[in-house]
Amino acid sequence: MTNRLSEIQIIPIKPQNGLVAFVSFVLDENLYLGSIGIVTRPQGGYRLVYPTKKVAEKNLNIFYPISREFALAIEKEVVKQFEDVMKKYDRHNSFNS
């Protein structure tokens, strides 16, 4: 990924309708992006959902990646961090390790 993500913060939540966490990060040391949802995929794995604002009957996008390639690069990095964070919460792991 040529654009670098830093200060990735994952906030796990009690799962609801596939939503399992929120993520925020800084892009290229210049832009903070937050309130991005991490959602389970029906076939397994995770995807990102970018924030919207409801105006009248319409949902307006606040921000989102323009290219699929860039979106997948962000998703790959965020999901990797999310899975690392969730290892700490695995109830089958011993906290004495």
Q: Where are the domains of the chain?
A: 5-88
Mean pLDDT score, 8-19: 96
DSSP-derived 3-state class of residue 69:
helix
Q: Is there a contact between 11 and 23 (Cβ–Cβ < 8 Å)?
A: yes
Question: Which of 31, 43, 41 lies closest to 82, judged by CA?
Answer: 41
pTM of the predicted structure, to 2 decimals = 0.86
Phi/psi of residue 11, nearest 5 degrees: -120, 100
At residue 96 the predicted structure's pLDDT band, cuts being 50, 70 and 90, is very low
Domain 5-88 has CATH 3.30.1330.10: no
The model's pLDDT over 35-70, given as tens digits with 9 standing for 90+, comes to 999 999 999 999 999 999 999 999 999 999 999 999
According to DSSP, the residues that pair with 5 across neighbouring strands are 27
Alpha helix (H) residue ranges in 22-67 = none
Q: What's the whole-number average pLDDT of the chain?
A: 90
